[in-house]
Amino acid sequence: MPALPRIKQQLSTLIALPSISSTLDEYDLSNQAVIEQIANWCETLGFNVDIQCVDAKRKKFNLLATLGSGPGGLILSGHTDTVPCNEARWNSDPFTLTEKDNRLYGLGSCDMKGFFALALAAVSSVNKNQLKAPIFILATSDEETSMQGARALATLGLPKARAAVIGEPTGLKPIHMHKGIMMESVRITGQSGHSSNPDLGNNAMDAMHSVISELMNYRDELKNKHSHAGFSVPTPTLNLGCIHGGDNPNRICGQCELHFDLRFIPGMNMSTLRKGIEQRLEKVALLTKTQIERVSLFDGVEAFASEENSELVKLAEKLSGHGAEAVAFATEAPFFTAQNIDTIVMGAGSIDQAHQPDEYMALDQIDPMIGYLKKMIHHYCI
Ligand SMILES: [Zn+2]
């Protein structure tokens, strides 16, 4: 394992550079140091590097590194941010790579700073002069929160590669599908007043009752219309998550707000779903004479599905000996498939350890993953 000492050293460097992203300002950090470090290693390997500013105020950046030229090629992509961590619940320092029991512990070890070290190891074995199509390394910001990095890359235009591997921890199994996710809020404004006479106001909670009925009907409708046996929960789901409204039992409720999420399967999309929700809300607003507003709590992520039996899916299945599967978490993959890039999610480490104290990368997954990446590079670029 000649590459391993360097991989450990690189991973230790990346883990020592905190790059937490959070929707709460007090936890949110810049990812600049991680981006610059990866860019530096890429340059050493001969890549052209392009660091793109995603958010100047929050100091968030993406990296697009290119080795070789011409059409086609392969993208190796990952996110540079991690989730926040509770240091008290860790058995080692989350920002110090710690090797124990054939595992490399650290925040981001598998999700997913480790992938960059593996991708660089695979690339460094390639003879640059043999490249017939480019290898791209993409590193994004804010995947754990808004996916703003991937969104920015998609707007600027991703490289027109033939295929992309997103190295999220999947235990070395190829992933070809996940559900999309939306989180929405419904805000109802009625009119408060003394409860002794309902005519003195207009009850927002009464209107919310109708909204909830409509949403539950819509949920049934979606469930009856759409399903995919590849998912452990084969149908779309809509969860009523929290509700806030009113202030007193003897006061007509003037305002009420509901938050829900909707997880949908490939073939469905956010704009159609939002329209479906809005039509139902308009109906209730008219009947109840209230003001009803739908607000997205975040931009949402589309569902992801590779083409059935795509070239990359078949290659990854052959290399890994695993049939492609679906997962229950969202990734940046839909931004790649939207640009007709054949995409899978596949990487070392397990999602069970991601977002947990004592996150680790198992040492015995490192060599196989580098081997798969090398063969993919050969397939697409040499
Ligand atoms: Zn991740």
Work out the mean pLDDT of the chain and round it to a whole number.
96
* Catalytic residue chosen out of the listed positions 111, 143, 144, 358: 143
Compute, in angstroms, the gap from residue 101 CA to the centroid of ligand 1: 23
DSSP 8-state class, residue 290: -
* Catalytic residue chosen out of the listed positions 25, 26, 43, 81: 81
Does residue 26 have an active-site annotation? no
Predicted local distance difference test score (pLDDT) of residue 308: 81
Spatial CA neighbour of 180 closest among 84, 300, 98, 77: 300
pLDDT over 80 (residue 5): no
- Residues 92-119 as b/e (b if ≥16 CB within 10 A, e otherwise) read bebbebbeeeebbbbbbbbbbbbbbbbb
Asked if the bond preceding 112 is cis, omega within 30° of 0, the reply is: yes
Compute, in angstroms, the gap from residue 177 CA to the centroid of ligand 1: 15
Contacts of 197 (CB under 8 A, 6+ apart): none
DSSP 8-state class, residue 128: G
Does residue 143 have an active-site annotation? yes
Predicted local distance difference test score (pLDDT) of residue 3: 64
Q: What is the percent of the chain where pLDDT is above 90?
A: 95
- DSSP string covering 270-284, please? HHHHHHHHHHHHHHH
Compute, in angstroms, the gap from residue 354 CA to the centroid of ligand 1: 7
Spell out which residues have Cβ within 5 A of ligand 1, the ion. Answer: 111-112, 168
* Location of structure tokens 């996150």: 359
Compute, in angstroms, the gap from residue 18 CA to the centroid of ligand 1: 15
Residue-wise pLDDT tens digits, 100-121: 999 999 999 999 999 999 999 9
DSSP 8-state class, residue 187: E
Please state whether the predicted TM-score (pTM) of the whole model is above 0.85.
Answer: yes
Residue-wise pLDDT tens digits, 320-333: 999 999 998 899 99
Query: Radius of gyration of the chain from Cα atoms?
Result: 24
pLDDT over 90 (residue 376): yes
Please name the helix (run of DSSP H) or strand (run of DSSP E) that holds residue 53, with its range, or none: strand 48-55
CA distances from 276 to 183, 199, 373 (A): 15, 31, 42
Compute, in angstroms, the gap from residue 331 CA to the centroid of ligand 1: 7
Compute, in angstroms, the gap from residue 332 CA to the centroid of ligand 1: 9
pLDDT classification of 2: cutoffs 50, 70, 90: very low
